Amino acid sequence: MELFIIVLLPLIGAVSNGIVTVINAARGKQVWGEKTAGVIAFGAVAASFVISVYMVFVKLAHSEAISQTAYQWMAVGGLKLSITFMLDHISAVMLLVVTGVSSVIHFYSIGYIHGDESSVRYFSYLNLFVFAMLLLILGDSMPLMFVGWEGVGLCSYLLIGFWYKDEEKAIAGKKAFIVNRIGDFGFLLGMFLIFANIGSLTIADVNHYFHANPGMTFFWINVTAICLFIGATGKSAQIPLYVWLPDAMAGPTPVSALIHAATMVTAGVYMVCRFHGLFLAAPIAMHVVLWIGALTAFFSATIAIFQNDIKKVLAYSTVSQLGFMFMAAGAGAFAIALFHLMTHAFFKACLFLGSGSVIHGMSGEQDIRFMGGLKSKMPHTYWTFLVATIAIAGFPPFAAFFSKDEILWNVFASEYGNKIVWVIGAIAALFTAFYMFRLVYLTFFGEFRGTHEQEHHLHESPKTMTVPLMILAVLSTIGGWIGIPKLLSLGFIPNVLEHYLEHAVSKYGEVHLHHYSHSIEYGLMGLSVAIAIAGWFFAKRKYAAIKGQLPDPATYKGISKLLYNKYWIDELYMKIVVNPLKSLSTNVFLNITDKRLIDGVANGSASSWGRVAMMFSKLQTGNIQSYGFYMIVGAALAVAFIWIIF
């Protein structure tokens, strides 16, 4: 019952605001406006959060899982599906992160969306997103998860294209949906493979089956896992399907923070953790996850270094951080993947909301080349942004230090890990620190490079926006403390997270770490800190004391040109996939096969029959002599025929 309330509250918010949007539009007057809409939306999510806290800390405190069923959804042949929600320790972590961060961002949105004519619609979409996300998290079977999975994709589509009058934004939304659909295609095939083999699609059955020495062959187990992972690369923006996420920044900034940083994009990571029973039975797939994660982390970090749009930098940073999470999952450290997912939700939401505050203050400007010196004008935004930057860069004792260090350690030491991947990850971490501090220096330090008008309007954002920033900054600072490794705390501070997830993620197979001495472990940890410092140092040297205008990207040459243009991957996809498909459809299928070939045969046979008939109709002359002649010829032929036969 309680789980249903958690899920349904945001839906009620979404539907009521949605209906009001339609009525407002149809009748031309307001049933209720942005204030009420905002309060309803925030209230629904906040209530969900409160009930979630109760469920996780009270009801789930002494049990491994709670599952609640509503009704039978589809029961056909061998398929038995019900609407059942399951809360276990894995979904509990995700549930708290999502409802918690959502509440903060809904609150922020009230200030952010103020004055927009479509604010009611905005809150409706935002609530609908939370509803879909909760379905994804709590659904106990793959199809129910898939409902949420595509539902969040829909909301992402709607929210990216929220300001649809700008066609660019509508196109970005569409792109997100279609690229996600490519991933979903993989998810579906994986689901079908599982169903054809085990006849059940509940998460528990799937994990159990693959853990308990399955009858499926090694090859097909790996294929299944890779199919699911294709789904994850779509949703979580990994190579080769990451291209939609940077474009998704066209949406309102709170949406970028909530959907395209903190929650939805982590669904792929969550899914891999959810099905760890399957992935642990598929070592090749684990390597794929590890490598794709590492390569994505690395390449998107390189792109982030050369972007000038404040949100684009953060977008590529998100892609990169998601890569880190997949590295953890690929190394078998599922708890650590979830740990980084959580810390990332805090600091990246903080960064995005901070960027929203900056853009707000800059009257819509997003290009960091025209910022600078905002430190004194927007102190709250600056401080919170700085804290989150320190956190993502990996300085102790901020959140990401613990999670990122654990990821690198696991990649280094796990039986699924790999030293080369570790090196790639370490370099990506260095780049992370570098591009983040570049962002901070260019935005908040030096002298102001924008127009006078912008300088005149420059102001700190209202409380509704800065308070959420502070909350998230605090979480970015202390969020990592629930996962302090024993090596550092020497056993004095318990590793709460590890302890909490321990059983849930090792239920279907343990992952062994190779044995290394403590000194190596300490050494690697020190190296992590050194990397963060190095990144900060280089960024400071290059950008702290910048004077005058920054170069136009059009003048970029060589590697910076390549990276600024994101390796021209979008253009490549257009050239080799989208355009050929369109031209094949129009030039071959429509104009040749359909019009010439099929219709040609059909119409051709009709008209040739017509011609034959015309030919015979010429015999009907109306002339008695001709008819007489035909009769004689006919009779003669008949006689000849009979004569030949007999």
Partner 1 sequence: MGLISWTLLIPLAGAGLMMFIPGRNLKDGEGASMFGWIALIISVLAMIVSIPLLTGFENGTAAYQFVEKITWIPEFGLDYHVGVDGISILIILLTTLMMPFAILGSFKYIQKRKKDYYIWLLLLEFTMLGALVALNLFIFYIFWELMLIPMFFLIGIWGGPRRIYATVKFVLFTVIGSLMMLVGIIYLALMAKQQLGAFTFTFSELTKLNLPIQPQLWLFAAFALAFAIKVPMFPFHTWLPDAHVEAPTAGSVILAGVLLKMGGYGFVRLAIPMFPQAAVQAAPILQLLAVIGIVYGACLALAQSDLKKLVAYSSISHLGYVMLGMFALTPEAIQGAILQMVNHGISTGALFLLVGMIYERRHTREIADFGGLAYRLPVFSVAFMIITLSSVALPGTNGFVGEFLILLGTFKGAWAYFVAQASIFRLVLMVLASTGVILGAFYMLWMVQRVFFGPLENEKNKALKDLSLREMIVLVPFIIAVFYIGVAPQGCLNKMEASVTHYIAEYQPDVLKQYKIDPKIEHAETPAETELHEPEAEAHH
DSSP lists the bridge partners of residue 86 as 67
- Give the separation between CA 307 and CA 553, rounded to whole angstroms: 9
Q: 189 vs 49, 195, 196, 582, CA distance in Å?
A: 34, 10, 10, 25
Contact 383, 303 (CB under 8 A): no
- The 10 Å CB-count burial string (b at 16+, else e) for 426-436 is bbbbbbbbbbb
Angle made by CA atoms 386, 468, 139, in degrees to the nearest 5: 110
602 contacts partner 1 (rule: CB under 8 A): yes
Residue 66, helix vs strand vs coil: strand
* Least separation in angstroms between CB 223 and partner 1: 11
621 contacts partner 1 (rule: CB under 8 A): no
Two tokens, residue 73? 């959804």
84 contacts partner 1 (rule: CB under 8 A): yes
* Least separation in angstroms between CB 339 and partner 1: 24
Which residue's CB is nearer to partner 1, number 89 or number 380? 89
* Least separation in angstroms between CB 125 and partner 1: 12
DSSP lists the bridge partners of residue 81 as 74
- Helices (H), ranges, 87-217: 89-112, 119-138, 142-160, 167-198, 203-211
Please select the residue that binds partner 1; options are 574, 594, 629, 637, rule is CB under 8 A: 594
DSSP string, 620-641: ----HHHHHHHHHHHHHHHHHH
Which residue's CB is nearer to partner 1, number 568 or number 589? 589
Query: In angstroms, how far is the first alpha carbon of the chain from the final one?
Result: 92
Give residues 59-78 in contact with partner 1 (rule: CB under 8 A).
62-78
606 contacts partner 1 (rule: CB under 8 A): yes
Among 308, 393, 318, 324, which Cα is nearest to 563's?
A: 308
* Least separation in angstroms between CB 501 and partner 1: 16
Two tokens, residue 580? 């050929």
Contact 242, 235 (CB under 8 A): no
Residue 507, helix vs strand vs coil: coil
Give the range of 32-40, 510-518, 550-558, 581-589 binding partner 1 by CB under 8 A: 581-589
- Give the separation between CA 300 and CA 265, rounded to whole angstroms: 15
* Least separation in angstroms between CB 188 and partner 1: 6
* Least separation in angstroms between CB 52 and partner 1: 16
116 contacts partner 1 (rule: CB under 8 A): no
Among 609, 579, 621, 573, which Cα is nearest to 240's?
A: 573
Burial class of residue 25 (count of CB atoms within 10 Å of its CB; 0-12, 13-18, 19+): exposed
Give the range of 147-155, 246-254, 510-518, 535-543 binding partner 1 by CB under 8 A: 147-155
Contact 279, 286 (CB under 8 A): yes
Give residues 206-245 in contact with partner 1 (rule: CB under 8 A).
208-209, 212-216
* Least separation in angstroms between CB 254 and partner 1: 21
192 contacts partner 1 (rule: CB under 8 A): yes
Which residue's CB is nearer to partner 1, number 231 or number 394? 231
Which residue's CB is nearer to partner 1, number 99 or number 202? 202
* Least separation in angstroms between CB 176 and partner 1: 10
Give the range of 270-278, 406-414, 459-467, 596-604 binding partner 1 by CB under 8 A: 596-604
Give residues 152-191 in contact with partner 1 (rule: CB under 8 A).
154, 157, 161, 164-167, 170-171, 173-174, 177-178, 181-182, 184-185, 188-189, 191
Which residue's CB is nearer to partner 1, number 13 or number 330? 13
Please select the residue that binds partner 1; options are 108, 123, 150, 368, rule is CB under 8 A: 150
Amino acid at residue number 94: M
58 contacts partner 1 (rule: CB under 8 A): no
- Give the separation between CA 419 and CA 599, rounded to whole angstroms: 62
Give the range of 203-211, 311-319, 420-428, 526-534 binding partner 1 by CB under 8 A: 203-211
Please select the residue that binds partner 1; options are 8, 31, 147, 513, rule is CB under 8 A: 147
Two tokens, residue 324? 């880190």
- Give the separation between CA 232 and CA 288, rounded to whole angstroms: 12
* Least separation in angstroms between CB 281 and partner 1: 13
Which residue's CB is nearer to partner 1, number 197 or number 464? 197
* Least separation in angstroms between CB 309 and partner 1: 22
* Least separation in angstroms between CB 588 and partner 1: 9
Binding mask 273-312 for partner 1 (x = CB under 8 A): ----------------------------------------
- Helices (H), ranges, 394-551: 399-413, 419-444, 452-457, 463-478, 486-489, 496-506, 518-543
Max Cα separation, the chain?
123
Contact 107, 263 (CB under 8 A): no
* Least separation in angstroms between CB 154 and partner 1: 6
Give residues 3-22 in contact with partner 1 (rule: CB under 8 A).
21-22
196 contacts partner 1 (rule: CB under 8 A): yes
* Least separation in angstroms between CB 186 and partner 1: 9
Which residue's CB is nearer to partner 1, number 559 or number 590? 590
* Least separation in angstroms between CB 184 and partner 1: 7
- Contacts (Cβ under 8 Å, ≥6 apart) of 426: 408, 527, 528, 531
Two tokens, residue 341? 């997912």
Residue that has been written with the tokens 């029961």 in this structure: 75
Give the range of 201-209, 299-307, 319-327, 404-412 binding partner 1 by CB under 8 A: 201-209
Give residues 86-115 in contact with partner 1 (rule: CB under 8 A).
86
Please select the residue that binds partner 1; options are 5, 47, 50, 195, rule is CB under 8 A: 195
DSSP lists the bridge partners of residue 367 as 309
Please select the residue that binds partner 1; options are 205, 367, 460, 521, rule is CB under 8 A: 205
- Give the separation between CA 265 and CA 63, rounded to whole angstroms: 29
* Least separation in angstroms between CB 592 and partner 1: 12
Please select the residue that binds partner 1; options are 133, 198, 335, 469, rule is CB under 8 A: 198
200 contacts partner 1 (rule: CB under 8 A): yes
Task: Compute φ and ψ for 65, nearest 5 degrees.
Answer: -155, 150
